[in-house]
Structure 1
Amino acid sequence: MSNKRQKLDDNVESKFYKGLFEHESLKAIEESFKQSKPYLHCKIDQLFEDGLLRRVQKEILRSLHFTLKETDIYKVLQTGDLANLDGLPKHELEQLSSLFELRNSIYSSEFRSFISQVTGCGPLSGSKMDMSINSYQTGCHLLNHDDVIGTRRVSYILYLTDPDIPWLPKEGGALELYPVIKKGTPASEPTVSIPPQWNQFVMFTVQPGHSFHSVEEVVGTGNRLSISGWFHIPQKGEIGYDPNAGNEEDVAKSSLQQLQEEQNAEDYYTRYAVQNPQEEEIVGLTEDVLVDLAEWMNPHYLDLKVISQMSEKFLDESAIQCKQFLSEATLARLESATIALDKKDNLYENKEGIVPHGTGVTKDWVVQGPPHQLRYMINKSTDKNDDIFAYLRSKFESESFRLWLNSIVQILPIGYRGEARRFRPGHDYTLATTNKRSQGVLDVTFCTVDKAALWKDGDIGGYECYMAPHDDEEDPATYKAADEDGALLTLPAGHNELSIVLRDEGVMRFIKYVSAKSPGSRWDICYEYDLPDKSDDEEEQEVENPVYIHKPLQVTSFLFI
């Protein structure tokens, strides 16, 4: 690096923290960036002149409107794009004069040159701005992703938390950086955590397959206010423009693309021992089958009249829910195990914020990832006698349960895959993934939580949501919201409940992140059953009498009909 001091416009330099552009400061920041792990990033403790930033904060809180935005991946209060400030009427822009000044300083040629020099990323666009204000308050979060969209080159965050009261790490809201197991696959847990502080600036280069990060849930009462955005590679007509940039064949797919791409689910099902599913003779609910099911299920759901009513409803609605599904003895055994584990891990009515990463890991419970798609714990025990989760998994895989499902849905599954899962407060979730199988799949999920009334409104997460397919013309930077765009079906986490949902091709599904303020873990036995290919006759019949999820619906709950 040259020993010459970077030449700056005096007016621009006065906006930033005194000494920021001095040679020693630049050298220290550049070295910090080069040596950083798990990928290239740096933290600048003081970026702007304090008085300017205080004026900016006051303008934001006084004059700007925040909209709550919530999808599978985030919950945050956000303003519109600050690139649009130029188009405001004069009297409105005067109310945001300091914010306008700050925005122009960030995208000035002088500061872009500073960013390029520190990061070594090459020229940056002076025409493409991408900047918004985010307010993370209690319960807000942003899950794991890599920021790889379009022409983004450098991501940045400028924090505007309370300038007079330091933000404490226990309040949450830290920026978490994840190493990768291999390119495109982040580890399940972060190795760097950066709590927010007033006037702190964090940036990292957007690195396909590497720049995975998240924002920890805010659990305190403070406002994690920040200005964030991206510097982009030069656009057409700008110095440094490369028409081939972003077209390299070896560039990793973004985390969003990976979620949306087709998966070869065929390889992941365990097949039932049947030679020819199309010609299989269905035994039905014999006495032996009912006896086997009565060992663990509520006998109410073995009543043939109830089964008939459930089947009729399912064929009309594509989904049903069974309340109080397990027998009393089985449920008591399960509750004893779940409450004991939550108490052991300080997750039962935890009042102290977010427990550390790695909480709950044992030889029988391991973390499942990768976190840009999902994170939860799965039960690995094979001891069906002593482990209630292993026992219930065996029941969901049994031939008797397969026949019971057939009596409800009138389709005999030909294979299955599933897990016993634990969603820990403050850590776990699944992001929306799409069913690519043309014949649809049968989702069967048994869920149980403690204090179910607290989960009902969905505010603490843990709900299961089915959504319509993305429009092919949608902005690829957008994760579809489970709100006005139409959740097809939303099932709050409940106590001792089984849901059966027939999911058509293209329908997306996710489990919303479980908030740290929930009274305990969300537990489930989650199975997906593979269905036989639809014959021509069945496809014609489906047009006349649709069975698969295709529009918003209300699930019918059963117990005492």
Structure 2
Amino acid sequence: MASRRRPADSVKTDKKKKKKKTTTSEETAELCSLVGDEQVKKSVQEAWSQRTAHTQGDLELDCQPFPHCIIKNFLGSETFVENLQRELMELNFHEKSNDLYKFKQSDDLKKRTEPHISGLRAALFGRFRSWLGEVLQVELEPVVDISCAKYEYTDVLLCHDDELEGRRVAFILYLVPPWQSSDGGTLDLYTTDSSFQPQSIVKSLVPSLNTLVLFEVSPVSFHQVSEVLTRDKCRLSLSGWFHGPSLERPPRHRGPPIPRSPHLPRDETLLLEWVNPVYLDISYQEQIQEEFEDSSEIQLKGFLKEEKFKEVKEALAQIQWTKRGPPNKRCYEAATMNTLPQCVKLSTPMCCGELRRWSNGGYTLLHDTEASRAEYALDLVLPFCGADWQSEFGGFTCYVANEEDEELLTVYPEDNSLALVYRDKETLKFVKHVNHKSLSDSENSLTCRSFYDFSFVYYE
């Protein structure tokens, strides 16, 4: 490609422009007066160490279900807040989606030179870090760990404790428009049991403009960002961690293994009664086997005879359901075994099996898996979901490589379509969070769509 040298005057002009563009002035972020008050600092320090509640002006310390501090009007200037919002909204955001969350996030802000972003960063990791370290009586490192997040309709961050080596205090600064609890996007705090597993939400904090929330990262600091339910607002926030010596953690809890049953040969006439005859044809079975061996997954549509499929679908309404947790691993409903009608009673030949119901808020996370306990496993899922279930609702199963973000396979629920997936212990799976779109608007009231599936894992 031909190129031309620009005139000298043009080069000089461009250099001047470039120099001007990269020259920025940092705006000073004035923090609320409470942070500079020695008496307030001593009071908060004493309350935090004794795990007692304390309120003073715009500052509130609550120790239930775990210690957390809320500071309203954190930044002293409304103009600074408005300019900070503007700079943040002009950043590039990346879609983040996996088993745990769905939202948009900026790159790390530690090198951003915008005047209000850099000014806030200097205040947080300078004056405020010193204040916080004295309150907690711990040496916090001058490490910048901060990014911006945008949560919009159906975005969510599921239950977790923020545990990672070196993280000592988590913080969130909200930069939202007027917000109500009905908009979703609340910061939900969980109680924990004697095994340090999350149980239930006991407090929900509604985002509020220019409010800072912080808490120590600990074995009991389980929290979530509930699904955003408003279509018209953006839940904008700055969040990150102050680093320092981690709190001591107990050994990670591991639940008991799911019981497995030995194989019991069954009368093959049962297959003739239930299964679509096309799948009992030997030549078709050979074709299925070849395809399955080639790709390790297959979906067998119309697997059950139509009359049997309808029989089971009608019987599902008679079943009682029990919610399964803990929420840092899973959230869905499993059938209560003694309420199962005869036509859906489960047997488990060398496998673990459940009849599950999925509705708004249901999910499983990657570490809710038995894969590490077997070299190879075969997943079998038979959904009953109806024609109105859409992929955008969630509830689909994703397979990923262990410790990698790469998605290997996604299996969407489809009526009477048997899915088989053969995997090794390095392949993990999760069921994507069922979002607010799964609710249908019927005469100005929301009704809950749901679907069912028979889920089995066969082990070698």
Match of 1:503 in 2: 423
Residue 246 of structure 1, CA deviation: 4.8
Select which of 121, 124, 130 maps to 2:145. 130
Select which of 213, 227, 230 maps to 1:220. 230
Match of 2:402 in 1: 469
Structure-2 separation of matches of 1:177 and 1:36: 11
SS in 1 for 2:111: helix
| 1:512 and 2:441 are equivalent in the alignment | no
| 1:168 and 2:101 are equivalent in the alignment | no
Q: What is the identity, as a one-letter code, of the residue corresponding to 1:324?
A: G
**Aligned pair in 2 of structure 1 residues 445, 17: CA closer, same or farther (>3 Å)?**
same
Structure-1 separation of matches of 2:374 and 2:287: 28
Match of 1:178 in 2: 190
1:21-36 aligned within 5 A: 21-22=36-37, 26=41, 27=43, 30=47, 31-32=53-54, 35-36=62-63
The structure carrying a bigger strand percent of its residues is 2
Q: What is the identity, as a one-letter code, of the residue corresponding to 2:131?
A: F
1:97-112 aligned within 5 A: 97-108=115-126, 110-112=127-129
Structure-1 separation of matches of 2:277 and 2:39: 76
Q: What is the identity, as a one-letter code, of the residue corresponding to 1:488?
A: L
- Residue by residue over 1:228-275, the C-alpha shift from the partner in whole angstroms, topping out at 9 and shown as x without a partner, is 011111xxxxxxxxxxx5596x5444xxxx7xx9x985x7322225xx
Structure-1 separation of matches of 2:416 and 2:137: 54
Select which of 331, 336, 344 maps to 1:392. 344
1:344-355 aligned within 5 A: none
Structure-2 separation of matches of 1:385 and 1:364: 11
SS in 1 for 2:123: helix
Structure-1 separation of matches of 2:459 and 2:184: 41
**Aligned pair in 2 of structure 1 residues 53, 16: CA closer, same or farther (>3 Å)?**
same
**What is the TM-score with the length of structure 1 in the denominator?**
0.67
Unmatched segments (≥5 aa) in structure 2: 1-25, 48-52, 55-59, 440-448
- Residue by residue over 1:515-555, the C-alpha shift from the partner in whole angstroms, topping out at 9 and shown as x without a partner, is 12125223211111121xxxxxxxxxxxxxxxxxxxxxxxx
Contact (CA 8 Å) 1:393, 1:420: kept in 2 or not?
no
| 1:525 and 2:457 are equivalent in the alignment | no
Residue 510 of structure 1, CA deviation: 1.0
1:310-459 aligned within 5 A: 310-336=288-314, 364-385=320-341, 391-394=343-346, 397=348, 415-432=350-367, 433=369, 435-437=371-373, 439-452=375-388, 454-455=390-391, 459=392
Structure-2 separation of matches of 1:252 and 1:13: 44
Contact (CA 8 Å) 2:398, 2:429: kept in 1 or not?
yes
**Aligned pair in 2 of structure 1 residues 453, 424: CA closer, same or farther (>3 Å)?**
closer
Unmatched segments (≥5 aa) in structure 1: 1-10, 86-92, 234-244, 274-282, 342-362, 403-414, 471-479, 532-561
Contact (CA 8 Å) 1:431, 1:512: kept in 2 or not?
no
Residue 20 of structure 1, CA deviation: 4.9
Structure-2 separation of matches of 1:14 and 1:228: 16
Residue 298 of structure 1, CA deviation: 2.9
Q: What is the identity, as a one-letter code, of the residue corresponding to 1:469?
A: N
Structure-2 separation of matches of 1:121 and 1:368: 39
Structure-2 separation of matches of 1:51 and 1:448: 54
SS in 2 for 1:83: coil
SS in 2 for 1:191: strand
**Aligned pair in 2 of structure 1 residues 522, 103: CA closer, same or farther (>3 Å)?**
farther
Structure-2 separation of matches of 1:510 and 1:173: 22
Contact (CA 8 Å) 2:380, 2:420: kept in 1 or not?
yes
Residue 23 of structure 1, CA deviation: 5.8
**What is the TM-score with the length of structure 2 in the denominator?**
0.81
Percent identity reads 30
Superposition misfits of 4+ residues, deviation over 6 angstroms: 11-14
1:544-555 aligned within 5 A: none
- Residue by residue over 1:401-421, the C-alpha shift from the partner in whole angstroms, topping out at 9 and shown as x without a partner, is x6xxxxxxxxxxxx1111111
Match of 2:17 in 1: none
> CA RMSD of the aligned region, Å?
2.9
Residue 22 of structure 1, CA deviation: 3.6
Contact (CA 8 Å) 2:68, 2:213: kept in 1 or not?
yes
